[in-house]
């Protein structure tokens, strides 16, 4: 990828055309809305809108689709913070502290810091994309299946942090998430597993259905049981974060940018993974980790920064090698090919104006998303005081439509309802939900990379230790696990998830 | 007499179920026992997986591993909770009224989904939203009907008319 100030400046000239500004703005708005709606993620949104962009010139179409992608990262935090229903998997960590802040009357600062952190991380990520893409792309190439498995395995040890005092229950939650992901066909051999002869189960259980069930349906059930008048009755005290809030989050924003960006370079490391890692790192580095899960503002800034940095980083392998790092990127790749543009090294040689126009538009799009989201914080914050008998059914309808639109199977919606019941009982009995979400997100990548690693090494598990990067990840994972188990064994308190202690 | 006997059995069952989930400790013991059962079912189901046994990682390996983890963790949870004798918080289960509300909400979700195919997305959405808003809010009928009409209308306009997605339209509307 050849960088040139001329190319970048020409890119800005193209991106600043009225037409492209308009499409970037529309993309940001649609993306934000898609992020807000539970169940409809950026990959579904881009796939749904792809045919509509056929009438546009290629540059405008890709600018709009890219804007939808990172716009969705902004929007996903809104429902996570206001009503504890994450718009997508990457917003689950945001809900853990964001909703607690909303319950304390600080929905405005939570939404504000989410927008600011997203802007800072997104912009720094695009700077990384602009200037350091060649070296960063080579870094991604050093990762093979053993490194991916070790990284995913290390990701699973995040359950230690996510489980709080309920480690056994956290492991159970993770195991049930893995179990749900194993239902269906084995990804490499195609063998049917745990399907009990059912044709529907052969299609497998989609993780979006699980997330919608565990969060949206279960949350509605709890609110119905308690006959709440509104999801969040607490008066909105502040509309914007204070300078002290922003100063408190500077470290979190920068660290999460680094984590989100470097992990986002790796195929398979979608925002849904990097947000958990960034949240965990912030909690471990905090002088007061006990605040996390109870309304720590850094707990909102970190995942929101990570998911936007990851979305920027995903363009590095996409443009450099034609490698999509996430499902949304795969759809974008389809969009590029639809316009006759083949991603890879030749794209920069043959179509430099297109590439740099898209990169320039991402700078502009980030500013647009901040401008769209920050002033509307007060309005968004008041959504939670809409009477629950009206808001609840609407949330359910949006969630079920989103779930149905994944594969247009009623089965996915039934799965969401079943996991809603499971999520309800998990909340009552003190089981943490986040480990189950993390496991369903990581499961397929974990198994595929494990199988590929054993194929490469001809069955020898030593491959995970003999390769240096993999060995480091495995070592960190084991240390984390041992430390967590030791702390748990010393504690004699009952196992209750921290999210249920209030 | 048979009816009275049945009521006794149901009453005893529901009482014992209620007691087994009343506090955190009893809930954990019950949960642990259920997880042991789930682990055993998983191991049994995994043993039925055929094919791919010559692979480096046969398809049944991970289900076995997950089954073992669930079984062991369930057993540890049950034993640890049984031995625990500290402060035992009470679980906040819903009262009878709350339970009925939750069950009716779930049932209405199921009916919504079942009606989506024959009646179409817009009409089933209208019926579901109207009923649920009325039931949860106890509003006068015109208000839930208005919200229902708006919800059904917007769902048709956005998802079927504008985006042309493959949602069922129903017998009364066209794409």
Number of domains forming the structure of chain B? 2
pLDDT digits (tens, 9 = 90+) for A431-482: 988 888 888 878 877 888 888 898 888 888 888 999 988 998 899 888 888 8
Please tell me the predicted confidence (pLDDT) of residue A500: 43
Residue B131 lies in a domain: yes
Please state the rounded mean pLDDT for residues A166-177: 90
Confidence of residue A233 (pLDDT cuts 50, 70, 90): low
Residue B174 lies in a domain: no
Check CB contact under 8 Å for B92 and A428: yes
pLDDT digits (tens, 9 = 90+) for A87-141: 777 888 999 999 999 888 888 899 889 989 999 998 898 888 888 766 666 666 6
| Statement to judge: residues B53 and B113 lie in one domain | no
Rg (CA), chain A: 22
Residue B38 lies in a domain: yes
| Statement to judge: residues B75 and B101 lie in one domain | no
Residue B91 lies in a domain: no
Is the minimum CB–CB distance between A414 and chain B shorter than 8 Å? yes
Q: Decide if pLDDT at A215 tops 80.
A: yes
Domain boundary residue among B24, B53, B83? B83
Is the minimum CB–CB distance between A34 and chain B shorter than 8 Å? no
In B27-46, the residues whose Cβ lies within 8 Å of chain A are: 27-28, 31, 35, 42, 45-46
Confidence of residue A9 (pLDDT cuts 50, 70, 90): confident
| Statement to judge: residues B25 and B74 lie in one domain | yes
Domain boundary residue among B42, B59, B83? B83
Please tell me the predicted confidence (pLDDT) of residue A405: 82
The alpha carbon dihedral of A130, A135, A141, A147 has a sign of negative
| Statement to judge: residues B74 and B11 lie in one domain | yes
| Statement to judge: residues B109 and B69 lie in one domain | no
For A188, phi then psi, to 5°, come to: -100, -40
Q: Decide if pLDDT at B145 tops 90.
A: yes
| Statement to judge: residues B157 and B102 lie in one domain | yes
Give the span between the Cα atoms of B52 and A190, in whole angstroms: 9
Q: Decide if pLDDT at B12 tops 50.
A: no
- Which chain B residues are closer than 8 Å to A455 by Cβ? 56
Domain boundary residue among B59, B83, B107? B83
**DSSP E strands: which ranges in A352-431?**
none
Instruction: Identify the domain containing residue B34 by its residue range.
Output: 2-83
Mention every residue, 6+ apart, whose C-beta is less than 8 A from residue A364: A15, A16, A21, A24
Give the span between the Cα atoms of A366 and A375, in whole angstroms: 15
Please tell me the predicted confidence (pLDDT) of residue A234: 60
| Statement to judge: residues B35 and B58 lie in one domain | yes
In A460-499, the residues whose Cβ lies within 8 Å of chain B are: 492-496
| Statement to judge: residues B155 and B124 lie in one domain | yes
Give the span between the Cα atoms of A56 and A485, in whole angstroms: 56
Is the minimum CB–CB distance between A202 and chain B shorter than 8 Å? no
| Statement to judge: residues B117 and B59 lie in one domain | no
Given 3-state DSSP classes, what are the helix, strand and coil percentages for chain A, each rounded to the nearest 5?
A: 75, 0, 25
Check CB contact under 8 Å for B45 and A429: no
Q: What does pTM read for this prediction? A: 0.80
| Statement to judge: residues B57 and B122 lie in one domain | no
8 Å CB contact between A188 and B69: no
Closest CA to A115 of A406, A374, A389: A374
Residue B167 lies in a domain: no
Confidence of residue A208 (pLDDT cuts 50, 70, 90): confident
Instruction: List the single residue in B with minimal CA-CA distance to A168.
Output: B73
| Statement to judge: residues B67 and B115 lie in one domain | no
**B150 or B88: which carries more pLDDT confidence?**
B150
Three-state DSSP class for residue A244: helix
Residue B152 lies in a domain: yes
Residue B88 lies in a domain: no
Q: Decide if pLDDT at A1 tops 60.
A: no
B136 closest CB neighbour out of A193, A389, A450: A389
Confidence of residue A502 (pLDDT cuts 50, 70, 90): very low
Mention every residue, 6+ apart, whose C-beta is less than 8 A from residue A408: B165, B166, B167
Give the span between the Cα atoms of A474 and B90, in whole angstroms: 40
Residue B112 lies in a domain: yes
| Statement to judge: residues B30 and B71 lie in one domain | yes
Q: Which residues pair with B90 in a beta bridge?
A: B23
Check CB contact under 8 Å for A389 and B132: yes
Q: Which helix (H) or strand (E) holds A192?
A: strand A192-193
Question: Mean pLDDT over all residues of chain A?
Answer: 82
Closest CA to A216 of A101, A124, A88, A332: A88
């Amino acid at each position: 990828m050849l960088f040139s100030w001329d190319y970048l400046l020409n890119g800005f000239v193209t991106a600043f055309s009225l037409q492209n500004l308009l499409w970037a703005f529309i993309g940001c708005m649609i993306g934000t809305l898609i992020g807000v709606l539970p169940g409809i993620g950026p990959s579904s949104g881009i796939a749904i809108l792809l045919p509509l962009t056929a009438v546009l010139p290629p540059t405008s179409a890709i600018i709009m689709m890219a804007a939808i992608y990172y716009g969705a990262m902004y929007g996903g935090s809104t429902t996570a913070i206001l009503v504890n229903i994450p718009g997508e998997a990457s917003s689950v960590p945001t809900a853990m502290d964001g909703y607690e802040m909303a319950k304390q009357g600080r929905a405005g600062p939570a939404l504000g810091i989410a927008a600011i952190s997203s802007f800072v991380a997104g912009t720094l990520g695009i700077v990384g994309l602009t200037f350091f893409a060649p070296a960063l792309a080579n870094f991604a190439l050093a990762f093979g299946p053993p490194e991916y498995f070790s990284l995913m395995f290390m990701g699973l040890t995040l359950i230690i942090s996510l489980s709080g005092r309920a480690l056994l229950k956290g492991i159970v939650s993770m195991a049930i998430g893995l179990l749900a992901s194993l239902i269906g066909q084995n990804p490499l051999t195609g063998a049917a597993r745990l399907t009990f002869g059912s044709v529907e189960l052969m299609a497998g259980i989609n993780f979006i259905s699980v997330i919608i069930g565990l969060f949206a349906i279960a949350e509605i059930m709890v609110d119905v049981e308690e006959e709440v008048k509104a999801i969040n009755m607490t008066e909105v005290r502040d509309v914007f974060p204070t300078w002290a809030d922003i100063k408190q989050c500077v470290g979190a924003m920068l660290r999460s940018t680094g984590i989100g960006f470097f992990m986002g370079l790796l195929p398979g490391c979608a925002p849904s993974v990097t947000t958990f890692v960034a949240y965990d790192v912030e909690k471990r580095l905090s002088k007061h980790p006990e605040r996390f899960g109870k309304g720590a503002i850094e707990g909102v800034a970190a995942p929101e920064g990570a998911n936007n940095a990851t979305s920027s980083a995903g363009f590095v392998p996409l443009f450099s090698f034609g490698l999509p790092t996430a499902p949304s990127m795969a759809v974008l790749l389809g969009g590029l090919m639809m316009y006759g543009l083949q991603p890879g090294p030749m794209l920069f040689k043959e179509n430099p104006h297109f590439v740099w126009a898209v990169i320039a538009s991402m700078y502009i799009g980030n500013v647009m998303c901040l401008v769209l989201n920050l002033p509307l914080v007060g309005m968004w914050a008041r959504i939670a005081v809409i009477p629950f008998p009206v808001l609840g059914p609407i949330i359910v309808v949006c969630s079920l439509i989103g779930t149905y639109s994944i594969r247009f199977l009623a089965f996915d919606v039934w799965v969401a309802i079943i996991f809603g019941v499971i999520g309800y009982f998990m909340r009552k009995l003190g089981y943490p939900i986040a480990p189950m979400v993390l496991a369903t997100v990581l499961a397929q990548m974990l198994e595929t990379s494990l199988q590929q690693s054993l194929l490469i090494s001809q069955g020898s598990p030593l491959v995970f230790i003999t390769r240096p990067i993999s060995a480091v990840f495995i070592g960190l994972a084991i240390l984390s696990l041992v430390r967590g188990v030791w702390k748990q064994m010393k504690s004699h308190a009952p196992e209750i998830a921290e999210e249920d202690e209030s | 007499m048979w009816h009275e006997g049945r009521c006794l059995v149901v009453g005893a069952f529901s009482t014992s179920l209620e007691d087994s989930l009343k506090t955190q400790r009893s809930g954990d013991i019950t949960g642990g026992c259920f997880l042991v059962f789930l682990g055993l079912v998983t191991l049994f189901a995994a043993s039925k997986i055929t094919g791919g046994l010559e692979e480096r990682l046969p398809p049944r390996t991970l289900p076995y591993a997950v089954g073992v983890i669930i079984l062991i963790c369930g057993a540890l949870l049950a034993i640890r909770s049984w031995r625990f004798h500290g402060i035992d918080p009470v679980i906040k289960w819903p009262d009878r009224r709350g339970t009925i509300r939750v069950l009716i909400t779930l049932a209405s979700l199921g009916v919504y989904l079942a009606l989506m195919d024959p009646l179409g997305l817009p009409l089933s959405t209208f019926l579901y939203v109207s009923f649920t808003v009325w039931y949860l809010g106890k509003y006068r009928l015109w208000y839930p009907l208005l919200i229902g009409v708006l919800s059904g209308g917007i769902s048709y306009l956005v998802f079927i008319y504008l985006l042309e997605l493959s949602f069922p339209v129903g017998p009364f509307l066209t794409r």
